[in-house]
Amino acid sequence: MRRYPCPVPRVLSCIQPTGVVHLGNYLGALRNWVVGQHECDAFHGIVDLHALTVTDRPGVLGTSTLELAATLFAVGLDPEVATVFVQSHVPEHAQLGWVMECTVSYGELSRMTQFKDKSAKREADFVSAGLFTYPALQAADILLYDADEVPVGEDQRQHIEITRDVAMRFNGRFGDTFVVPKIVTPRAGAKVTDLQEPTAKMSKSSNTDAGIVYLLDEPAAILKKFKRAVTDSDGEVRFDRAEKPGVSNLIEILAACTSRTPQQVAGEYTQYGPLKADAGEAVVEILAPIQHRYHELMGDKAELSRLLRTGAEKARAVASATLERTYTNIGMLSPE
């Protein structure tokens, strides 16, 4: 078990460097990570090894990893406070990942809905074995850091459950080694839907750009996307996700950007035009300092690399102790 208990819970969450970060990622998740770093011992990994499960083009993964790192720092993750690291910079992930592959069963992996969905979507495409064993690597990400809590959305619940199961199985076989993490429902972030298709969530993998607000979109593009947002024809401003998904999405975005409740915002508008314009302006305003900081960071790659090196060193200090404990508890022959 962890030797030195922390006074605050250790919380870990990771993000894949695939696709471009959008407003849904920010308002729904990243903004909470920024608040959370001051309340707990926060670890955030950019999981480039996980992205390998669906990457087959050379030369793109490093760039998207760097861009995602700049984004995480730009939204406010403070490298002095939180531990932000790139997964492949901490070789213990791959090493413990193998141990986890030998602890999880084929049957358990076969039941993962993410694997079933993603492999079905890839149809005739190549389905790597890594896509199948992905949850074993994810378990390693979590267990390496003695994480007490893992805040994830509903889609990741199964992967955290499997992590708990393999941790308990390993502890049962080889003695107390891993902290069994709790799944925590993240503080409610805004749910952001596609501006063109307001019943679908805003998603990196959606097929049109017009409905997605990217974190790095220019102000004019953002305002245009809001101006063209799909609403409905009854003309009444009311917060009602089921009946009025488009209008409610605009209300929720504006509320999230201005720290108000959707009901407060809804009460202030009678027409769609001003609601769209104000939601667009509020997003432009909230993204401006983030974009400024992002471009500053991307202009100083040496500094960005330094921040990631510091993160990787902090991460390795914890991860290497856990891996060593794991090998010792199994009773593997030490090279010394």
Which residues form the interface with ligand ATP (CB under 6 A)?
15-16, 19, 24-25, 28-29, 153, 189, 191-192, 201-205
Query: Tokens representing 6?
Result: 């922390």
Question: CB 111 → ligand LTN: shortest distance, Å?
Answer: 16
With both helix axes pointing from N to C terminus, report the angle between 272-298 and 245-257 in degrees, rounded to the nearest 10. 50
- The entry of ligand LTN, ligand ATP, none that residue 25 binds, CB within 5 to 8 Å by partner kind: ligand ATP
Task: With contacts defined by CB under 6 A, name the span among 99-107, 137-145, 204-212, 295-303 that binds ligand LTN.
Answer: 137-145
Closest CA to 84 of 98, 97, 71: 71
16 lies in the site for ligand LTN, by CB under 6 A? yes
- What residue spans of 29-153 are helical by DSSP H? 31-36, 48-51, 61-75, 92-101, 106-110, 113-121, 129-143
Residue 88 DSSP one-character state: G
276 is catalytic: no
If contact means CB under 5 to 8 A according to the sort of partner, which of ligand LTN, ligand ATP, none does residue 311 touch? none
Strand partners, 11: 42, 149
Say how far apart CA 252 and CA 3 lie, in whole Å.
44
Q: Is 156 in the site for ligand LTN (CB under 6 A)?
A: yes
14 binds ligand LTN, rule: CB under 6 A: yes
Cβ at position 159, least distance to ligand LTN in Å: 6
Could you tell which of ligand LTN, ligand ATP, none binds residue 204, using a CB distance below 5 to 8 A set by kind? ligand ATP
- The count of chain residues that interact with ligand LTN, using the rule CB under 6 A, is 13
Supply 130's token pair.
């890594």
d(CA 162, CA 281): 43
* Lookup: tokens for 276: 């769209």
- Smallest distance from the beta carbon of 327 to ligand LTN, in angstroms? 22
Q: Is position 201 annotated as part of the catalytic site?
A: yes
319 in Cβ contact with 145 (< 8 Å) = yes
Query: Which residues sit at the interface with ligand LTN, rule CB under 6 A?
Result: 12-14, 16, 47, 50, 138, 141-142, 150, 152, 156, 159
